[in-house]
Amino acid sequence: MPVVSVVIPSFRGGAFLRDAIVSVQSQTFQDWELIIVLDGCEDDLSQIERSDDRVRVIRQSNRGECVSRNVGIGHARSKLIALLDDDDRMLPDRLQAQVDVMNDESVGVC
């Protein structure tokens, strides 16, 4: 089971989504799974799915960003969830920094 589940809901996808995916794959902390919820988006991510078994793609008809994010969280296998929008990128040490903070039992959210 991965330590962190990263969830990306995507409606428009395209190049921005691919940059977001690469930013997750480029993390210094590598014990993650990536759940991409394509919300009525027609992007073909089959090559990414085949090349990285930590990536899962869920396809659904357009239901909105909030529903898509919750669907992704519902499919998460880890206790820690990291959210990322499809037009954003993670700095390379984001997950490591957040996992370090969350290892402090007095911290509930980061």
Q: What is the mean pLDDT of the chain?
A: 95
Distance of CA 84 to CAs 3, 63, 89, 105, 106, Å?
16, 18, 8, 24, 24
Q: Which two tokens stand for residue 88?
A: 């954003």
49-87 confidence digits (pLDDT tens): 899 999 999 999 999 999 999 999 999 999 999 999 999
pLDDT above 90 (res 110): no
Least Cα distance to 59 among 85, 32, 36 occurs for: 36
Q: What is the pLDDT of residues 1-10, one digit of tens each?
A: 999 999 999 9
Q: How many CB atoms lie within 10 A of CB 106?
A: 4
* pLDDT at residue 107 in the model: 87
Beta strand pairing call for 80-83 and 55-60: unpaired
